[in-house]
Amino acid sequence: MSTFDTPFARAGAEAGKTRADGARSGGARAGFRLPLPGRDRLLPYLVPVAIVALWQLGCSVGWISSRIMPSPADVASAFWTTTISGQLPEDVLVSAGRAFAGLLVGGSIGFLLGIANGVSKLSEQLTDTVLQMLRTIPHLAMIPLVILWFGIGEESKLFLTSLGVLFPVYLNTYHGVRNVDRDLIEMGKVYGMSGWTLFRKVIFPGALPSIFVGLRYALGIMWLTLIVSESIAASSGIGHMANNAREFMMTDVVVLALVIYAVLGKLADVVARALERQTLKWNPAYVK
Amino acid sequence: MTVITHERFHSSEAVEFDESPAVTAGAGAAAITLSGLEKSFGANRVLRGINLHIPAGQFVAVIGKSGCGKSTLLRILMGLDEPTSGELRFEGADGAEIQPNARIVFQEPRLLPWLSVADNVVVGLGEGIEKKRARAEAKAVLDEVQLAEKAGEWPAHLSGGQRQRVALARALISKPGILALDEPLGALDALTRISMQQLLNRVWRELGCTTVLVTHDVSEAVHLADRVIVLEEGRIALDLAIPYPHPRRHGNPALAELEGRLLSAILGSDGGH
């Protein structure tokens, strides 16, 4: 079990957190009741909106120097000007393209290795040790080497994001396949399933909840890797935009880049969650 | 091996009783012959020479204390385990050796939680069946176990007894020649168990399949089976015919007497009673 520590410790902690949150909001529900119909939907946005309002207030009153931190209004206007100039949409597209290419390549490799090693003892003996060793190297430590290999072109970003995404997907897929209920597999065999049918009907759906944990964890790593690699070595993308803005002391654009990352990250997670809810409808734990 | 055949017992239920088995064997029902069957797990000899012939269509209950080898016997019958030595033979109506269509219901329902109730039942048909026909057959067999209205539900939304009925429907949909029941009612509450016993009895009479029920419930064995086999330390200690017509009522004194004898046969062997 110890081999699964990183993603699972996190996933577990996350699950614990959401449970605690749920308990807390349940307590609040008993206390008072807002008359809004979409209260449950709006409530999660209350704190972010309050923070932005405070932030704007602080800038307007002069508590916060605009050199250190631009006001939300400045960030909004930076958003507007960069959008009109076409720079922002282009950079977002470039970054998102890189992110998802990395996810596709790294995720596919991780997924296939996870399935192969979960199903086949031979494959596991051949590759698991190597993967466990590689996993312990922080992939961002490879940046100098990657720049030497690929320069600052697209390949270096693709390589790093793929590498970062590969391990969480691999570990969780492997873990999911290994933990499919043995009784169900036995039942499948008694009822004449084997090979591809057994995989499609029993093993894959059984491993799916765990695969989704891996995917969502991978999404976080995907953005992280991309931001770092774009800030260090890139000639386009949001990271490059932020780094460029730093040279001209344009703090509003730097903060805009952060906001864009946050929005993209949240969007990716929303999509993953929606997929999860759609495919795991059968599981009471995923039904709202 | 002791074979005891009972003289006719006079009760209101014995009216239609005759010496032939109460149920005629179904079309695909197979006879089972075990000769010198042995099974060891390492040094542990679980089955020590089982010789048994089960005619086609018979309902046999296998009882015994835990660890007596009854589940192992069933697993070997189903091909889930290989015997260490001895022979296992299935015969069709003409006496020729066949590969029977055998289905099992486990103690746990073992439904696939990601398939609807109807699709879980379709699993019992195996591959290569046209979807529309499979659905229609699933619906018919769900009707049989009185769960037609649950066809579209997820298994997670059913009660324990309902899930076990789905598992039974999955076993029955292919009209098996041999039905193996591995303590299928062990996890259910007493009332659900009695209604499930009636259901098992009814489907067995309709289908006429050779049925082997492994159970630790002596009363269940006596009420459902034509014949009760007591296993003790891997050997057949008692082979008892239960010659009463089906369906059998709970509270029948003749059955209660048989139940008592079986219980003392199982418990008395180590001098405990």
Edge-to-edge order in the sheet of strand B210-214: B3-4, B235-241, B227-232, B59-63, B210-214, B178-182, B102-105
Residue A4 confidence (pLDDT): 40
Residue B13 confidence (pLDDT): 40
- pTM value is 0.77
List, for residues B204-217, the tens digit of each pLDDT value.
Answer: 998 899 999 999 88
Domain end (from B141, B158, B174): B174
Cα separation, A136 vs A139, in Å, equals 9
Which of A192, A206, A284 has its CB closest to that of B126? A192
Domain residue spans of chain A: 72-279
Which residues does B contribute to its contact with A (CB < 8 Å)? 78-80, 103-104, 106, 108, 110, 112-115, 123-124, 126-127, 154-156, 170
Structural domains in chain B (count):
2
Contact check, Cβ <8 Å, A202/B112: yes
- Which CATH number applies to A72-279? 1.10.3720.10
Whole-complex ipTM: 0.81
Residue B74 confidence (pLDDT): 92
Cα separation, B87 vs B76, in Å, equals 11
Domain end (from B140, B174, B208): B174
List, for residues A132-159, the tens digit of each pLDDT value.
Answer: 999 898 988 888 899 899 888 888 999 9
Shortest distance, CA B168 to any CA of chain A (angstroms): 13
Cα separation, B113 vs B227, in Å, equals 36
Q: Do B122 and B95 belong together in one domain?
A: no
Would you say residue B1 has pLDDT above 60?
A: no
Q: Which residues of chain A have pLDDT under 70?
A: 1-37, 287-288
Alpha-carbon Rg for chain A, nearest whole angstrom, is 23
Q: Do B63 and B133 belong together in one domain?
A: no
Would you say residue B68 has pLDDT above 70?
A: yes
Contact residues on chain A for B110, CB-CB shorter than 8 A? 183-184, 186-187
Contact check, Cβ <8 Å, A191/B154: no
- The chain A residue lying nearest B120, using CA atoms, is A201
Contact residues on chain B for A201, CB-CB shorter than 8 A? 112, 115, 123
CATH number, domain of B32, equals 3.40.50.300
Degrees to nearest 5, angle at CA B132 with B127 and B135: 75
Shortest distance, CA B76 to any CA of chain A (angstroms): 12
Would you say residue B80 has pLDDT above 70?
A: yes
The parent domain of residue B157 ranges over 111-174
Contact check, Cβ <8 Å, A184/B110: yes
Residue B269 confidence (pLDDT): 53
Average pLDDT over residues B126-139: 86
Contact check, Cβ <8 Å, A191/B106: no
User: B102-105 and B3-4 as β-strands: parallel, antiparallel, unpaired?
Assistant: unpaired
Q: Do B246 and B133 belong together in one domain?
A: no
Which of A183, A190, A205 has its CB closest to that of B78? A190
Residue A235 confidence (pLDDT): 82
